[in-house]
Structure 1
Amino acid sequence: MPAKAAEVHEKLGYARAAELILHLPLRYEDETRLTPIRDLRPGLPALVEGVVAQADVQYRPRRQLVVEVRERADEDDALAPTLFFRLLHFYPNQLAQLKPGNRIRLFGEPRQGFHGLEMVHPRYRLVQPGTPLADCLTPVYPSVAGLSQTAIRKAIAAALREADLSELLPATLLTRLKLSEFEPALRRLHTPPPEADLFALDAKTDPAWQRLKFDELLAQQLALKRYALARHRLAALPLKDERQLIERYLARLPFAPTGAQRRAMQEILHDLAGRHPMNRLLQGDVGSGKTLVAAVACLAAVGSGQQAAVMAPTEILAEQHYLKFRDWLEPLRLKVVWLAAALKGRAKREALDQIADGSAQVVVGTHALFQEGVEFHGLALAVVDEQHRFGVAQRLALRHKGQHKTVQPHLLMLSATPIPRSLAMSYLADLDVSVIDELPPGRTPVTTKLIAMARRAEVIERLRHYCADGAQAYWVCPLIEESQKLELKAALDTFEEMQAALPELKVGLVHGRMKAEEKAAVMAAFKAGAIQLLVATTVIEVGVDVPNASLMVIDHAERMGLAQLHQLRGRVGRGSRESTCLLLYAEPLSDLARQRLKIIRDSQDGFAIAREDLKLRGPGEFLGARQSGLPLLRFADLENDVALLEAARDAADELLKHDPVAVKRHLERWLPQGAAFLLA
């Protein structure tokens, strides 16, 4: 491969030039046929050939080169079809090139301009009469700065000549699924014939795309399922509640668990009793009672004489868990210990000693749980809440805290963001999934309203009357991702504004940069009713449970994602009062923000919201996969390709059983970097 072409794969992020064969086009342009100027239609890209009639540098409204093109040199008729093209950035040699009489071929999108039809910055070249047209549709590839389409096309052509394009999948499988063979499908995508359906290619519904999307999904399924099989070869301590702690715990609850909670408990306890490490995701909507089920899992570990650790992404959530676990488990004579970065001095040393000697049976905390210096006596179960907020390395680090020579701890992951089925089948194929799909009795529906920022004063007045009647409310401050300082300032400013506007109310403030003990004191006062209005940043998104707080105002709701809005709204509707969530938004709204706010207003079903969220954001953002290292699908679309995904899942099981050589070669082609980060 030429040296220049070899640079292309590095710039595009591939380790080897051979990987370029799977650098597939974003779209295609048709340069196989000429369109007469008179037949051009605005908005429809086309290839045109003509003669330069004149070229002038114009200075109004800005410096630009304007070129007039006619189909024939002898056309002087003012009514003859004419096309103009404009170059806003050009060099002197281009002006010299574009002399009247020179024959030119242009590709671009015509639009109606001041003088008639025009193209702005079309692709063009000088030609001779009879210069051959392209013999295939022109692929347009994903690129990076400083890398031209010409360079990419040459590098890919070289890779296609040198790479192994042999068929790796059994002919019987391809026949059954009515899939094309690999090499013809791949070549069709890189060099589609002129008669190919451009719409089907761009929409990725062409049979060649179906084959490549299937291969991509198959590679993902094989990698995840192979890891799941490897996990089943590992050993874990079987956890059985020998002390009947679970029965005593459930008997002390002031309510009966829902049917969905009991079903999830049975699935988890069955896994924990096995000799292989559990790898289970417990998902359920906001307020469905996942923590109660997680406590049952912890009791199975403690009842077997082992330790359990519960990790949450923020101190405020970890603290909420700690207080719940302490209230639930200490009456059973169990020791629950808190560990977070904010813990210092003697308190931290005592916590570390209790974790190390085993007297701490359940340890609750933040990422501090897997830091150096934390040694568990016998960690048999790791519970990770809001698992998508942790990177893979962090989840592995906690699990490694309990890894001994022969055994691994069980892993239970919790998510309040319901995972759509197609996503669970693909990215979470190595996980067993339990779903809590019903809410506990007593949860009241939350009315959601959209209110423009111009009516902010009305909302504050409504708060006055609402809290005067004995209720409590949240005011959630805007998310400012680019600056924690600005976010803190917004919270402080809002707190001062509310104190001034509502002097008769007791207003509290909680934000992420407060010390743990300060946050705990504010939250305890709010729960006790001593604070009527709590001004907060999004740290209250999960874990906060105050039944009397039944009104929430979310300031600048347009800045937040669907999952976050749904999580925040889940803090109300926990008591007997009618509950309301007011979404304050600033205008003008982007189309995306408008869609998000409409979805959250019209639905309270977390699964329906999650499906819409997946459509808007794509799987990478939805799962936190960009942070976690999960390889994202480049070609398959989980909304439209569910049938292909199901076929790939079944084919993966078949190949893993009967054709390990095909599995190995397929993964080498599609995941040449390996799939180490799938291990979490």
Structure 2
Amino acid sequence: MSLALQDPVSALAGVGEKRQAALRDLGIFTIEDLLTYYPFRYQDLGERMPSETLDGEKVTFKGIVSTPAVVRRFGKKSQTVLGLLIDRENIRVTFFNQPWVAKNIEVGQEVAVYGTYNASRAALSAIKLVPATTNALDPIYPTTKSVRAKTIADLVEQAWGLMRGQMPNLVPAELRKKYRLLDKNQQVEWCHFPSDKAEAKAGRRSAAFEEFFIFQMRLQLIKQADQSFGGQALAYDNQAVQAFIDQLPYQLTNAQDRVVGEILADQKTAQHMNRLLQGDVGSGKTVVAAIAMYATVTAGCQAAMMAPTEILAQQHAKSLAKLFASAGLDLRVELLTSGLKAGQRRQILADLESGEIDIVVGTHALVQDDVYFHHLGLAVIDEQHRFGVKQRSKLREGGMNPDILAMTATPIPRTLSITAYGEMEVSIIDELPAGRKQIITSQMPNRQFDQALALLQAELAKGAQAYVVTPLIEESETLDVRNVTEVYQNLQAALPSYTVGLLHGRLPKEDKDTLMQGFKDNQVQVLVATTVVEVGVDVPNASIMLILDADRFGLAQLHQLRGRVGRGDRQSYTVLVADPKTDYGKERLKALVDTTDGFELAQKDLELRGAGDILGTKQSGMPEFQVGDPVKDLTMLTIAQQEALTLVREPGWDEEVDNRALVAYLSQTMAQFRHFD
């Protein structure tokens, strides 16, 4: 039977329409997909003596069948019992619900049986008979309800028997030699059919590097394609930009100064800018973006800023207008959201197209089909993880291809930076503005809630304001957490001298806006809220936050919430009220108490959760790797990134004979490669 790697898996014996559909759910479409669908672990089927085996351990015993196999039936269930003589010791072997075993063995026959050993009873609870040809390590594959691991193993064995030696090398020979990686055919064989743990380890090591390398090659090609659009060399007025910086009410930190330089340098070149600006909550990303937008306007272009929520868009529009006005600049800043009245929206769209608006701030309303710019030079995207590539590419349509500055206050550990944001240049603001005090964080059990409330009252007495955050809106029968309405009512009773507000996602937009404005104006002193305050609420007078049932929140979310306080001159506090019941919950809260460094917390979060828990999820933006673990294998991931970057920078790399298979593979798969979607 003559097959090719790109033939559908249905070309194999035993794969009908139903099984083909089930394999498709696992991402297996072709024979090559099947052969690179590697096991995620191995069962050790190596033979041992009973005297070498611990109680409860899985093991393979090899011996002579000493008694006939007897089948005992209990309704639909059965037990098949036999004796196995191993070097003068007789072991009782029991197969559950496998009556056919009795027909396949007879007294005096040598057999190998894999199962769980009960040392006190000298008995083996058998899982399966082990054929004489079986490797010492049995591969275990990721499966679904529709496909058994044994089915995949049998198909892999069939495919490898037909395709052995035909796998093309995707990692160039020079890199395989440099990092002691296996030839692709040996890699596939040792991953699926290892004779020992050393072979399995070597096979998976080579497969992991290949996986990381291919991924990084795709990112580099995306970056090249992005830059091939041709950016705009903005001839901004350097003196005017410097004068604006000098007019700011505060001096830029060294980190802000550094990233401003990186962004302005990008804007000056004709190469398209695609830069990610990372900075912890309160580090001053918005003023950096304001400088870049003003530079764009001095070059005769427009700037746009996209925010994930209307509250945040409104806040940005007001703060930008105020910042430019305080510097004596006559810039027109407008807000474009879905909440505008039809007449207002028509006027803003007309003025945007004619060029009368310098800077527009909005939500997804900015990327609707009826929005046209006169000359868009820069698009700033706040909270980058909330926008997909489609929204970003929408801003590039019309041939203007504006520079992109994406911002995130969600600190990204190096692992994510290399994977999820690998096609972007990265700038980091890694220091807080001068005079900003560290937030003091503590944890209290629920029984000490009165102490937390006393601390909150002490802050209110000083004229400060407070947040109280809770996970749920309504009472839950399954989760023992206090709901926001109950907390609101209790605090109203406990704090009669103060105005307490209630904010949650189900409130009408007008009510939310009114309440938030009242909180900003100190007409509301205590804001009881769900996580809607996580992003975009900026009240410098708020100095304390109580987070109830804090163990119900993720680490990154807790850090974001904490960032709502500490935005003014007051010493600020966050109190985590919780009784975590799991080690993970305890570790999470301890990490938050121990440090306010968002980047350190992000790495800790990744380590605590494990890559398997977040890979492929839209929230994280992490790509899914089958073999490599980007957290544990960070060094390998970094090397793969460096080598991919080095290769694509070599003139004519894609015409080299040694790279033909790699180029062909990338050409075939780039169309299916989705980044940020």
TM-score, normalising length: structure 1: 0.86
Provide the rounded CA distance (Å) in 1 between the counterparts of 2:481 and 2:367. 28
Matched, 1:197 2:197: yes
The number of residue pairs the alignment matches comes to: 648
Query: In the alignment, what sits opposite 1:432?
Result: 425
Deviation at 1:118, TM superposition (A): 5.7
| Counterpart contact for 1:476–1:537, Cα < 8 Å | yes
Taking the TM superposition and a 5 Å limit, the aligned residue runs for 1:189-588 are 189-193=191-195, 196-197=196-197, 201=200, 206-242=201-237, 245-331=240-326, 332-397=329-394, 399-400=395-396, 403-405=397-399, 407-478=400-471, 490-587=483-580
Matched, 1:643 2:647: no
How far apart in 1 are the matches of 2:610 and 2:240? 43
- The CA distance in 1 between the partners of 2:588 and 2:239, in whole Å, is 47
Distance 1:488 1:330 in 2: 46
What's the Cα RMSD here? 3.5
For 2:475 and 2:308, the matched residues in 1 are separated by 19
Instruction: Answer yes or no: is 1:593 the counterpart of 2:609.
Output: no
Note the 1:90-105 alignment, pairs <5 A: 90=97
C-alpha displacement at 1:226, in angstroms?
A: 1.5
How far apart in 2 are the matches of 1:53 and 1:523? 77
Shift of the 355–43 alpha-carbon distance from structure 1 to 2, 3 Å rule, reads farther
Rounded to whole Å, the distance in 2 between the matches of 1:481 and 1:159 is 55
User: What SS does the aligned partner of 2:674 have?
Assistant: helix
What is the CA–CA distance in structure 2 between the aligned matches of 1:670 and 1:236, rounded to whole Å? 25
Secondary structure of 1:5's aligned partner: coil
Equivalent residue for 2:37?
23
Alignment of 1:631-670 (within 5 A): 631-656=623-648, 657=650, 658-661=652-655, 663=659, 665-666=661-662, 668-669=664-665
Q: Within 2, Cα distance between the matches of 1:556 and 1:64?
A: 47
Consecutive unaligned residues in structure 2, runs of 5 or more: 1-10
Q: Deviations over 1:153-190 (max 9, x none)?
A: 12222333337313344433322222222211221111
Deviation at 1:517, TM superposition (A): 4.1
Distance 1:253 1:236 in 2: 29
Contact 2:442 2:574 in 1 (8 A): yes
Report if aligned partners of 2:385, 2:621 keep a CA contact under 8 Å in 1. no
Residue deviations 1:621-674 (CA, integer Å, cap 9, x gap): 768753687642222223333332343233323432253145563265478532
Q: Is the 8 A contact 1:260 1:437 kept in 2?
A: yes
Asked if the contact 2:56/2:119 (under 8 Å) is kept, the reply is: no
How far apart, CA to CA, are the structure 1 residues paired with 2:415 and 2:402?
28
- In structure 1, what is the Cα distance between the partners aligned to 2:136 and 2:101? 31
- What secondary structure, in the 3-state scheme, does the structure 1 residue paired with 2:670 have? coil
Give SS of 1:382's match.
strand
Aligned residue number for residue 673 of structure 1: 669
- Tell me how far 1:608 sits from its aligned partner: 0.9
In structure 2, relative to structure 1, the CA distance for the partners of 1:229 and 1:450 (3 Å cut) is same
Q: Secondary structure at the match of 1:4?
A: coil
What is the aligned partner in structure 2 of residue 150 from structure 1? 150
**AA of the residue aligned to 1:553:** L
Deviations 1:312-365 (A, max 9, x none): 222222222222112112452211111222333333333333323322221112
CA separation of 1:668 and 1:556: change in aligned 2, threshold 3 A: farther
- By how many angstroms is 1:528 displaced? 2.5
The answer to whether the Cα contact below 8 Å between 1:446 and 1:578 also exists between their aligned partners in 2 is yes
1:479 Cα deviation (Å)?
A: 5.7
Shift of the 13–178 alpha-carbon distance from structure 1 to 2, 3 Å rule, reads closer
Q: Using the alignment, how far apart are the partners of 2:168 and 2:465 within structure 1?
A: 67
Supply the distance in 2 between the matched residues of 1:86 and 1:155 (Cα, whole angstroms): 26
- Find the counterpart in structure 2 of residue 107 from structure 1: 114
Distance 1:84 1:436 in 2: 65
**Structure 1 residue 256: deviation in Å?**
0.6
Conserved 8 A contact 1:52-1:67 = no
CA distance in 2, matches of 1:340, 1:482: 33
Structure 2 distance, partners of 1:425, 1:38, is 49
Instruction: Give the 3-state SS of the residue equivalent to 1:213 in structure 2.
Output: helix
* Aligned counterpart, 2:4: none
AA at the equivalent of 1:639: V
Q: In the alignment, which of 41, 63, 70 is matched to residue 83 of structure 2?
A: 70
Aligned residue identity for 2:150: T
CA distance in 1, matches of 2:225, 2:186: 35
Cα distance in structure 1, aligned partners of 2:481 and 2:511: 15
Which of residues 124, 127, 130 is equivalent to 2:128?
124
Q: 2:8 — aligned with what?
A: none
In structure 1, the residue matched to 2:189 is 187
Q: Which amino acid aligns with 1:142?
A: P
SS in 1 for 2:223: helix
- Asked whether the 8 Å contact 1:73–1:101 carries over to 2, the reply is no
Shift of 1:488: 14
2:428 is paired with a residue of what secondary structure?
Answer: strand
| Residue 54 of structure 1, CA deviation | 5.8
The SS at the match of 1:626 is coil
SS in 1 for 2:311: helix
CA offsets, 1:453-491, max 9 Å, x none? 3333443344334313322111112168999xx999933
Task: Give the percent of matched residue pairs that are identical in Structure 1 and Structure 2.
Answer: 35
Is the contact between residue 37 and residue 81 of structure 1 (CA under 8 Å) also seen in structure 2? no
Using the TM superposition, give the Cα deviation of residue 546 of structure 1 relative to its aligned residue in structure 2, in angstroms: 2.0
Q: Hey, what's the Cα distance between the residues in 2 that align with 1:622 and 1:580? A: 30
Tell me by how many angstroms 1:376 deviates.
Answer: 2.2
Report if the CA contact (8 A) 2:481-2:549 is conserved.
Answer: no
Task: Provide the secondary structure at the position in 1 that maps to 2:483.
Answer: helix
Query: 5+ residue gaps in structure 1?
Result: none
8 A contact 2:296–2:303 mirrored in 1: yes
Amino acid at match of 1:366: T
The Cα of 1:70 is off from its aligned counterpart by 3.3
Q: SS where residue 418 of structure 2 aligns? A: helix
Provide the C-alpha distance between the structure 2 equivalents of 1:482 and 1:670, rounded to a whole number of angstroms: 52
Instruction: Give the direction of change, closer, same or farther, for the CA distance of 1:226–1:326 in structure 2 (3 Å limit).
Output: same
How many angstroms apart in 1 are the aligned matches of 2:621 and 2:661?
Answer: 22
What is the CA-CA distance between 1:413 and the residue it aligns to?
Answer: 0.7
Q: CA deviation at 1:562?
A: 1.3
| Counterparts of 2:378 and 2:284, CA distance in 1 | 19
Which one is further off, 413-422 or 530-539?
A: 413-422
Letter in 2 for 1:660: D
Cα gap change, 1:254 to 1:170, in 2 (>3 Å)? closer
2:519 partner letter: F
Describe the shift of the 1:449–1:516 C-alpha distance in structure 2 as closer, same or farther (beyond 3 A). Answer: same
Farther off after superposition, 578-587 or 293-302: 578-587
User: Given the superposition, is the C-alpha separation of residues 369 and 466 from structure 1 closer, same or farther in structure 2, using an over 3 Å criterion?
Assistant: same
Give 1:2's aligned amino acid: L
Task: For residue 243 of structure 1, report the CA deviation from its aligned partner.
Answer: 8.4
> Could you tell me which amino acid in structure 2 is paired with residue 436 of structure 1?
I
Q: Aligned partners of 1:396 and 1:244: how far apart in 2?
A: 32
Distance 2:555 2:666 in 1: 33
